[in-house]
Structure 1
Amino acid sequence: MLKCIRFSTILFLLINQFSFAQGGRIPAQADSGMVVSSHYLASEIGRDILKKGGSAVDASVATAFALSVSLPAAGNIGGGGFLVYYGNDGKSTTFNFREKAPLAATREMYLDEKGEIRNNSNHDSIIAVGVPGTVAGLYLAHEKYGKLPWAELLEPAIKIAENGFAISPEIEWFSKWVLENKDDYRSTAKIFLKDSVTALKPGDILIQKDLAETLKRIRDKGKDGFYRGKTASLISDYMKRNGGIITEVDLEKYEAEEREPVKGNYKGYEIIGMPPPSSGGVAVVEMLNILEPYDLAKMGQNSAQSLHYLTEAMRRAFADRAQYLGDPNFNPKMPVNEVISKNYAKILNEQIQENKASVSDSANFNKAHLAYESSETTHLSVIDTEGNAVSLTYTLEASYGSKIVVEGAGFILNNEMGDFNAIPGLTNSKGRIGTPANQIEPEKRMLSSMTPTIVAKDGKPILIIGSPGGRTIINTTLQVIVNVLDYDLNIAKAIESPRIHHQWLPDITSFEDWGFSEDTKKIYLEMGHKIKTYNSQGRAMGIQIDPVSGMIYGAADSRSYDGKAAGF
């Protein structure tokens, strides 16, 4: 029976590979609405919600819940994220559902008697889990901008969880990891191994009955179906049994927030981004302000000169990120307006030389060195039939988060507490940062690089973009925006183009290992920059709207295995 299922599934995937592949640099087209996400099933579900008359928020909610089933590495109800909304009336807002530190959290909770982190416990342990925010955030956004009934948006995800879907190579890899570590992750093994003893193989169908029941409780009771009642009890009981610190009180107290966006202007285009605790909106606006005086189009895309200016902008924005940004509820004096001002950009521009790299001097840039932030996040972009836009990014932090499944609830918990500064006051060249703005406090939200962004012109959205990728998210989003606005590329070409990343410290630029000529790299090095190469940066999901014809163009990054732009 299993062999038959595998054969039919593989045949189905081979057939459908051609139906949802987008041809790399050729965008998908639509004239009514579109959803772009990291999994084709989720994109199709969101598109179908739009066809039923659902709003952009409705489609984003349905897509996000579908991703929690079909993309367990990053799609989540056990994590958190951000949503940026831009209406067809020109009004914009954001929803902050970043995870929080539990009430029992302390500034030095991960340290041993020597002041060092115990066994990477801020990343790899049950006490690395922050209070999840996704369900509260999606529910709040739906309350404000939803049109279809909440329950209707959950049904497609429930069906996938109950009936199953063919696993991807990524899930196959995780299943093998679970097999090797099953004694330490017994609740995870019950979901991601066959009979808790055998790894999944390509073509196997992943059925998630416990997750389906959790989604049904959310369907029937909304936010309370997660933060109160049975699901909350399952979470808190599991924590008690296994040394965790999240309680039912933590869950009951969690609230998502609606906040004013970070806004900027770049060459006549309006930039709408996420405010702190996201660092992405501030950083993108700051970098675009720095880049605005330069004629990037004349320099040419990915020329050594244009890459030089991009790097110098990145260097300065990431330094300010480390110095100033954190949860605004705990850092009320963050100088956000000053950092994103044109006057501040002019000061920074005076430091930039035409053909010589700056030096990332920790003495002048807050003595901070940015610690690792995982690349496992996912993004979705939506435009509805009325022209309302949503850009939503959410995460579990590491790939599959903590890798811990809540027994009986069927979903993976995040390990977002690792995004806090774990050793207060210690900042060093090994990658540790200890500045106050992002130190651990109860109910504080940890700083994030997620960068859901919308670009508008004359009060209408023309670009919806975002990406996973840890700290590279910010620079991936920046480069797609520049590729569209400065280099006049379509959304698919803008996303498929090779990318770079510089984050102030370490003082080195990461290049994707394809797409850049040796001559370009030689000139770039002669300016004093340093280079390292790596395979891939980000998996952007974007939508572009032609302001004249109204035609919609979408692209799912080919760096994403199962991504799809689904329109109609």
Structure 2
Amino acid sequence: MKLRYVVQLITCTILISNHWSGAAEPVTRPPRQSVEVVESRSGIVVSETDEASAAACKILTQGGNAVDAAVTTAFVLAVTWPEAGNLGGGGFMMIAPPGDDVVCVDYRETAPASVSANSFVNWTDRHHARMAGVPGTVAGLATAHERYGTLPWKQLVIPAVQLARDGVEVDEFLAWSLNSYLTRARVRTDPQFAEFRRVYGHPDGRHWRVGDRLVQPDLASTLELIAEQGASAFYEGAIASRLLQEMKRSEGLISREDLKSYEALIKPAVSGRFRGYTIYGAPPPSSGGLTVILEMQMVETLKLTPTSEEFWTADQVHLLSEVMRRAFRERAAHLGDLPMTRELHNKFSRARAHELASTIDRETATSSKSIADKIAITEGPYESPQTTHFSVIDANGMAVSNTYTLEESYGSRIVVAGAGFLLNNEMGDFNWYPGYTNTEGTIGTEPNEMAPGKRMLSSQSPTIVKQGEKVRLVTGSPGGRTIINTVYEILVQTLAFERPLPEAVDGWRFHHQWYPDVIRLESLDEADVKHIAEELESRGHNVRLSADYRQGSAHSISVDVETDMATGVADWRRGGAARRAETVQTVP
């Protein structure tokens, strides 16, 4: 490295560090807001940003269907919600075509061919190009469109191109998101994040403020190539070349052959019955579908009933948490990138749900260690809560539930130089330490060990519920392992308690994941749940109560199957926008 370059780099780092010291302008979370609710029979899109929901609704009014609108939503979110909207990540898209089977487009990232089960045993840097799995988002959206879309591909991508080129007006949630990461010490100073700072930092070196405009010309050029050339531009063309240059520069693992061989898969949804409804979820390597269904079928055995006095009662939280504890143990023991064999179905069957529910003490907490069975527990990684979910329904009743992610907020924080998009850090979702499971939540079970071309286990839980042949509910959430329980709680409230969807989305949530052996309570007002926390502790639970804890962002749609009126609800926790298509044009 030339001395002149080193001096320039050090000088730039010092200037950026000074600009982003954060001392003068503290970064504060936007205050709580109300959920946003819309109703329509012509189609609804509920996503993290107004631009994404509005652009997708325009696609619906132009005669596009729910999959067309979902493709536009996903590409626009890559521009307007960069912490999780993405080109360089992956996810799962549930599709319910009218009169046909519900399917899942699995576009989860894959491990590069060069890895083995022990490749990351001594690795510590989770924000490095080596953490990137082979991205699946562009292939997944293209696969969904090829099978189910109606409008031309280019028409669906161009709205994102225009927003990236012309700029996005920064609102309070985007300002908070950008500033929260630009002010982090390592992001401010580490040379490997120089492109991140260039792309996402304010041109004047200050905090982003409401009303500023985020312009992303490199991303606009990348999206334009995708609009013109399709997914091949990303996996074999000019974009692939830039990604591979980044791998070489940043010591990543993805090869040209890894990109060329990536394939998004269309799979049958997993499903289960609950009180006259059919719940459809994503199959492995998503753990969400099977785990949510297992939880709901345990609830059916427990015969929980709603109350009018409180949003949740201590009895309900106790029983629902005991269900979570058991379901997450089954998740850890059995799930990974595995085929849906009869044996795996049996491990998550209604009979198994009833067997697990029968072990719950209705008054006293169970020790997580006591249900470990053959999983050896060491007294003592983590899945980031930064994902994004959106829900779509069109005038014909076709529904899409899509969750996708970069893993942590802004993924690896490595921006592909000149291409304007972030690389994921999904390799962290594999079990890095074969055979090692501890009380802090590190899991080392065999099904999710790392292997070439394997898809890492995910908690993403895009969910569609049908009542008869009609869609009744479309939901999902970000939130790492909390995703499963956010969706579970939405389903319990709407299907078991018959609580209106706006109320179910608005209220406080809680989470237990087997290990660590803790119930975490979302406290919108600490006094709301303090008495419940005390009663849970008296029953033997470990409880964590924090006013700063926010669980998920469950942008959802419910449908009255008698009138076909759909209600879209945007969660308030990270912003969000519910928009409706007022008039639908006929496709020529």
**Partners in 1 of 2:130 and 2:436 — Cα distance?**
21
Superposed counterparts of 1:326-405, under 5 Å: 326-328=336-338, 335-361=343-369, 363-364=372-373, 366-367=375-376, 371-405=381-415
**Partners in 2 of 1:179 and 1:375 — Cα distance?**
19
**Partners in 1 of 2:193 and 2:529 — Cα distance?**
46
Deviations 1:296-326 (A, max 9, x none): 2245651111112211110111001100000
Aligned 8 A contact 2:337 2:456 in 1 = yes
Aligned 8 A contact 2:128 2:413 in 1 = no
Aligned 8 A contact 2:281 2:462 in 1 = yes
Query: SS of 1:397's equivalent?
Result: coil
Aligned 8 A contact 2:38 2:567 in 1 = yes
1:56 aligns with 2:56: no
- Larger deviation: 40-49 or 241-250? 241-250
Cα deviation for residue 25 of structure 1 reads: 5.2
Query: SS of 2:301's equivalent?
Result: coil
Equivalent in the alignment of 2:565: 551
Aligned 8 A contact 1:273 1:282 in 2 = yes
Letter in 2 for 1:527: R
Letter in 1 for 2:353: A
Query: SS of 1:532's equivalent?
Result: strand
Aligned 8 A contact 1:107 1:441 in 2 = yes
| Residue 300 (structure 2) aligned to one of 281, 284, 292 | 292
- Larger deviation: 161-170 or 520-529? 520-529
Aligned 8 A contact 2:36 2:570 in 1 = no
Deviations 1:129-171 (A, max 9, x none): 1000000001001011100000000010000000001222212
Cα deviation for residue 26 of structure 1 reads: 6.3
Equivalent in the alignment of 1:533: 545
**Partners in 2 of 1:523 and 1:463 — Cα distance?**
33
Cα deviation for residue 194 of structure 1 reads: 4.3
1:522 aligns with 2:531: no
Letter in 2 for 1:172: N
Letter in 1 for 2:395: T
Equivalent pairs, count: 540
**Partners in 1 of 2:136 and 2:440 — Cα distance?**
31
| Residue 223 (structure 1) aligned to one of 222, 231, 234 | 231
Deviations 1:181-215 (A, max 9, x none): 36331222221124595554443211111111111
Aligned 8 A contact 1:286 1:339 in 2 = no
Equivalent in the alignment of 1:466: 476
Query: SS of 1:284's equivalent?
Result: helix
Measured on the aligned residues, the alpha-carbon RMSD in Å equals 2.2
Aligned 8 A contact 2:325 2:512 in 1 = yes
Equivalent in the alignment of 1:245: 253
What TM-score, normalized by structure 2, do the two folds share? Answer: 0.88
| Residue 542 (structure 1) aligned to one of 544, 549, 556 | 556
Aligned 8 A contact 1:192 1:200 in 2 = no
Equivalent in the alignment of 1:408: 418
Deviations 1:196-236 (A, max 9, x none): 95554443211111111111111111110110110000001
Structure 2 portions without partners, runs of 5+? 1-29, 583-588
Cα deviation for residue 55 of structure 1 reads: 0.8
1:207 aligns with 2:215: yes
Equivalent in the alignment of 2:80: 70
Query: SS of 1:296's equivalent?
Result: coil
Aligned 8 A contact 2:88 2:424 in 1 = yes
Cα deviation for residue 461 of structure 1 reads: 0.5
1:85 aligns with 2:83: no
Question: What is the percentage of aligned positions where both structures have the same residue?
Answer: 40
Aligned 8 A contact 2:161 2:223 in 1 = yes
Letter in 1 for 2:229: K
Equivalent in the alignment of 1:482: 492
**Partners in 1 of 2:182 and 2:211 — Cα distance?**
13
Query: SS of 2:192's equivalent?
Result: coil
Equivalent in the alignment of 1:13: none
Aligned 8 A contact 2:116 2:452 in 1 = yes
**Partners in 1 of 2:459 and 2:169 — Cα distance?**
31
The 1:308/1:89 distance shift into structure 2, 3 A limit, reads same
| Residue 422 (structure 1) aligned to one of 432, 446, 451 | 432
Superposed counterparts of 1:438-457, under 5 Å: 438-457=448-467
Cα deviation for residue 530 of structure 1 reads: 1.9
Letter in 2 for 1:274: A
**Partners in 2 of 1:444 and 1:257 — Cα distance?**
13
Aligned 8 A contact 1:22 1:564 in 2 = no
Letter in 1 for 2:465: V
| Residue 106 (structure 2) aligned to one of 86, 96, 101 | 96
Equivalent in the alignment of 2:277: 269
The 1:519/1:458 distance shift into structure 2, 3 A limit, reads same
